[in-house]
């Protein structure tokens, strides 16, 4: 099982948020900084089955609420409608 680690420690801006995801998920540098781009690459680019662990995501809810909520929505869709990809998420 492939393991990805997304470290949100120290993230303060929209750009840093998406850069952390792109780096942690090993997405190509041309990945867009929006939920649709993350969804597209999670469902068509990332190696699966996979364990995706995050560090510091819950702490970002106050600072980057919109971005975090969009990411939670992407994760929910991937887990429910794309369950055959066999992602497992550990969010901290």
SS3 34: coil
Local confidence band at 60 (pLDDT 50, 70, 90 cut-offs): very high
Burial degree of 11 (CB within 10 A; 0-12, 13-18, 19+)? buried
N-to-C CA span, the chain? 20
pTM of the model: 0.94
User: Check: CATH 3.30.370.10 for 2-91?
Assistant: yes
> How many angstroms separate the CA atoms of 80 and 20, rounded?
24
Local confidence band at 34 (pLDDT 50, 70, 90 cut-offs): very high
| Lookup result for tokens 């510091």 | 56
- 17-28 pLDDT, tens per residue? 999 999 999 999
Which is it for the CA torsion 82, 11, 18, 21, positive or negative?
Answer: negative
User: What are the residue ranges spanned by the domains of the chain?
Assistant: 2-91
């Amino acid at each position: 099982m492939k393991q990805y680690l997304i470290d949100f420690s120290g993230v303060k801006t929209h750009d840093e948020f998406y850069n952390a995801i792109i780096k942690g998920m090993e997405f190509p540098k041309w990945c867009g900084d929006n939920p649709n781009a993350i969804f597209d690459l999670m469902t068509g680019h990332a190696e699966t089955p996979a364990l995706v662990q995050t560090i510091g995501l819950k702490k970002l809810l106050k600072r980057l609420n919109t971005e975090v909520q969009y990411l939670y929505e992407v994760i929910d869709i991937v887990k429910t409608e794309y369950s055959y990809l066999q992602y497992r998420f550990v969010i901290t």
